[in-house]
Chains A and B, each alone.
Chain A
Amino acid sequence: MPYHKKLIRMLLLPALLVLLSTGFAVISIYRNGSFAARTSLVSTGTSVSTGASQAGAEKSNTVSIPKSLIPEGHILFIENCSSCHTNTGEGSYRGPNLVGLGAATVDFWVSTGRMPLSQPGIEAVQKPSRLTRQQTLAIVAYVTSLGKGGPPIPKVNLKHANVSEGQTLFALNCASCHTITGSGDALSNRSFSSSLHIASPTQIAEALRIGPGNMPRFGPRTLNHKEVEDIAAYVTRFIQHPNNAGGVGLGGVGPVAEGFIALLIGLGGLMLVSFWIGDRQEKEESRDGH
């Protein structure tokens, strides 16, 4: 074999190594978010939740929605929701009754993009909402005007939240379904606990209060408002922006992913090295080929 070919082969491995490590370095720095200020992300989250609050409601722990939004909400409801829930929100075989459902429930399903469904009859999954915050609140205003009941939208203020309290509550109440890293997992029979990586503080608080889908309900006597805020703070600060000081987080799915890496990159890479160092002897050809 000409020597330059051998040279290329020989340089291939170090080149691959360098490439791999640069890649991982870039990814890990990106994932660590060491260049992004963590605090700014949190503060935008807070501003969303308080954005709609009205002057008189500052003291209480709930978001009140101006009645003036009801007409706009009515129009939006007719456009987006009525095909399943009917014009009066009483529901049909396609969608449940919404009368008396409460602001938190409506806001959670709409703001997380689960509602409106992209087509009737499919499973509601989280997706970016195509409605603005104002439009969502308008729908909430309209639906809550149809009948009283249900929990209001909690007003979440993370300023004085205690993330340490939040961590311990999260580990006790949330990790058993959502995993301790918040990545979500499969429940029985094709239902899933959702990933918490894109939830806003308000959505977290709403979910705790209303228990959407298969999720249990955590009322104010189980988790008080402060505790809800602690959990929301822990999730938005440390689940969504984990301290991945050690490098790429592998999606936080645990040792199975780590095992694959150890086998593929660790052992696989070292086997390639051995392959380079050692001989690949071909079997001596028999001379009886004529």
Chain B
Amino acid sequence: MDTKENGENINAVSKAGNLSAGNNSHNLANHTCEGCGRSDLAEQERRRLRALEVVAQLSVIGALLCFIGVGVTYWVGGQNQFLGGFLAAGLALLGIGVIVIGKYFMPQGPFVEQRHEISSTVQQKQLFEEALVERGGSAFKRRKFLGVLMGASATMFGITFAFPWIRSLGPLPGKTLFQTWWRPGSRVVTVHGRPVKVDDLEVGGILTVFPEGHAGSSMSQTILIRAASLPITTRKGRETWSPHGYLGFSKICTHAGCPVGLYEEQSQQLLCPCHQSIFDVLDGAVPVFGPAPRPLPQLPLGVDEEGYLRARSDFLEPVGPGFWERTTA
């Protein structure tokens, strides 16, 4: 681009809207400062712009070096801090350069543009209505029944086509939420499938257990606590549920379903790590604090002649958080 063209361009722009970089200084000069002459101001402005130019240049050079740094760091192994550090510094320096140019070397205005009317005129509205209703509806004007039929078939398409989008997504709940894999006589096993014997836990010990054959099952997970060496009656009717002081509670919180794995041995409480519901172990894991609404269901336990812990039955109520059908079964 030669200088002649350049000059013409600026000229053209100025004519069209006073778009020149000098606008900024013009504004400053407008504001009179007593005691300093016009030429002083111009000199100050010139020096200011020069300094800013240097800042922009240095930033962009810095950015270039940083991006080379990104490449080198990547090549030698891509250590996260150096890779990201160079990237961030490079982008920031480039950003600073661009912002300096935009903020100090480009026309700043203020410029103004007029808004347009948003609402249509009365005539435009009438024309719109005419096209929509008269022209568009002419075919159906005396064929109302056809319109109804078309609407009906479109609706039917919408409904039937939605079937797979809803029903095929998953199985019906059925009784899934009402039962676990615990059966009368199920041996109590660890997560590795090792059966638990009656002297495996010391008093004050805990273990996450499952019914035999279902180690790792989400619904059947149970927290086994040995709260004492003798049977504990947590509730009336549960006299035989805790041989040798072993208590089994569903590990699924009745609030939001998190595993209640936090056992406080001294205060005999179970705490849910998600929302801090607290259950009183010796009182049948009734919630004493926090948002959980119901006790953790207790698993009736027994010991066979070989000394293995066994479940007497499944939990007597659905485990886990509440749901709509919970009380209907």
A187 CB–B CB distance under 8 Å: yes
Stretch at the interface among B126-134, B181-189, B199-207: B199-207
Among B47, B95, B204, B278, contact of A3 (Cβ-Cβ < 8 Å)? B47
**How far is it, in angstroms, between the C-alpha of A141 and the C-alpha of B45 when the chains are bound?**
84
Interface centre among B80, B81, B103, B265 (most CB of A within 10 A): B81
Note all chain B residues with C-beta closer than 8 A to A211: 204-205, 265
* Chain A proximity of B247: nearest CB distance (Å): 12
Q: Which residue of B lies closest to A21 (CB)?
A: B85
Neighbouring A residues of B180 by C-beta, 8 Å:
none
A188 within 8 A of partner (CB): yes
Given A7-B51, A28-B81, A214-B265 in contact, is the A219-B205 Cβ separation under 8 Å? yes
Q: A217 at interface (Cβ–Cβ under 8 A)?
A: yes
In the complex, whether B44 has a CB less than 8 A from a CB of chain A is yes
Number of interface residues of B (CB under 8 A): 48
In this assembly, does A245 line the interface, its C-beta being within 8 Å of a C-beta of chain B?
Answer: yes
A246→B80 contact, CB < 8 A: yes
Contact A10 B204 (CB under 8 A): no
Chain A proximity of B104: nearest CB distance (Å): 9
For A250, list chain B residues within 8 Å (CB). Answer: none
Task: Report whether A216 and B96 are in contact in the complex, using a CB–CB cutoff of 8 Å.
Answer: no
B88 at the interface (CB under 8 A from A): yes
B219 to chain A, nearest CB (A): 18
- Residue B259, interface by CB 8 Å: yes
CA distance A222 to B262 in the complex (A): 17
B107 to chain A, nearest CB (A): 14
Inter-chain contact A216/B47, CB cutoff 8 Å: no
| Residues of B with C-beta under 8 A to A13 | 96
Is A256 on the interface with B (CB-CB < 8 A)? no
Name the A residues within 8 Å of B259 (CB-CB): 176
Nearest CB of B to A38, in Å? 17
Are A172 and B271 touching (Cβ within 8 A)?
no
Known contacts A6-B48, A277-B103; decide if A214 and B264 are in contact (CB<8 Å): yes
A188: which B residues are within 8 A, CB to CB?
264, 267, 269, 271, 276, 278, 289
- Closest A residue to B264 by CB, please name it: A214
Minimum CB–CB distance from A232 to chain B (whole Å) comes to 18
Complex: how many Å from CA A21 to CA B100? 22
On whether the beta carbons of B206 and A216 are closer than 8 Å, the reply is yes
Give Cα A215 to B157, complex, Å.
62
**Interface membership of A213, Cβ < 8 A:** yes
**Chain B residue with minimal CB distance to A179?**
B273
CA distance A191 to B268 in the complex (A): 13
Q: Given A188-B289, A217-B202, answer yes or no on A21-B207 (Cβ-Cβ < 8 Å).
A: no
Q: Does the CB pair B191–A172 fall under 8 Å?
A: yes
Binary per-residue interface labels of chain B (259-281) against chain A in the complex, 1 for a CB within 8 Å, 0 otherwise: 10111111101010100101000
Residues in B neighbouring A247, C-beta threshold 8 A: 80-81
With a cutoff of 8 Å between Cβ atoms, the chain B residues found around residue A21 in the complex are 85, 88-89
Residues of A within 8 A of B266 (CB): 191, 213-214
A238 CB-CB contact with B under 8 Å:
no
A222 touches B205 (CB 8 A): yes
A25 interfacial contact with B, CB 8 Å: yes
Tell yes or no: A60 within 8 A of B by CB: no
Residues of A within 8 A of B225 (CB): 216
In contact, B269 and A3 (Cβ under 8 angstroms): no
What's the Cα separation between A2 and B262 when bound, in Å? 64
Complexed CA–CA distance, A133 and B81 (Å): 40
Q: Provide the residues of chain A in CB contact with B205, threshold 8 Å.
A: 211, 216-219, 222
A19 to B88 CA separation, bound complex (whole angstroms): 13
Are B265 and A215 neighbours in the complex by a CB distance under 8 Å? yes
Quick one: which of B93, B197, B204 contacts A14, CB cutoff 8 A?
B93
Q: How far is A23 from B320 in the complex, measured between Cα atoms in Å? A: 47
Query: Chain A residues near B265 (CB, 8 Å)?
Result: 211, 213-217
Contact with A along B82-95 (1 / 0, CB 8 A): 00010011001101
Q: A6, A28, A219: which contacts B201 (Cβ < 8 A)?
A: A219
A172: B residues at CB distance < 8 A: 191, 208, 261
How far is it, in angstroms, between the C-alpha of A208 and the C-alpha of B141 when the chains are bound?
A: 85
A272–B124 CA distance with the chains assembled, in angstroms? 47
B206 surroundings in chain A (CB, below 8 A): 173, 216
Q: B16-31 vs A: 1/0 string, CB under 8 Å?
A: 0000000000000000
* B150 close to chain A: CB less than 8 A: no
**Distance in angstroms between the alpha carbons of A14 and B265 in the assembled complex:** 54
Residue pair A29, B264 in contact (C-beta under 8 Å): no
A217–B203 touching, CB < 8 Å? yes
Could you tell me which A residues sit within 8 Å of B by CB distance?
2-4, 6-7, 10-11, 13-14, 17-18, 21, 24-25, 28-29, 172-173, 175-177, 187-189, 191, 211, 213-219, 221-222, 245-247, 273, 276-277
6 closest A-B pairs by beta carbon, nearest first, are: A176-B261, A3-B48, A219-B202, A217-B204, A221-B200, A214-B264
Apart from A3-B51, A188-B267, A247-B80, 20 more pairs, CB < 8 Å: A3-B45, A3-B47, A7-B48, A10-B52, A17-B92, A21-B85, A172-B191, A176-B262, A177-B273, A188-B271, A188-B276, A191-B264, A211-B265, A213-B265, A216-B204, A216-B225, A221-B201, A245-B80, A273-B95, A277-B103
23 A-B pairs within 8 Å (CB atoms) are namely A3-B44, A4-B51, A7-B51, A7-B55, A10-B52, A11-B55, A14-B93, A25-B85, A28-B81, A188-B278, A188-B289, A189-B267, A211-B204, A214-B264, A214-B265, A214-B267, A217-B202, A217-B203, A219-B202, A222-B201, A222-B205, A247-B80, A273-B95
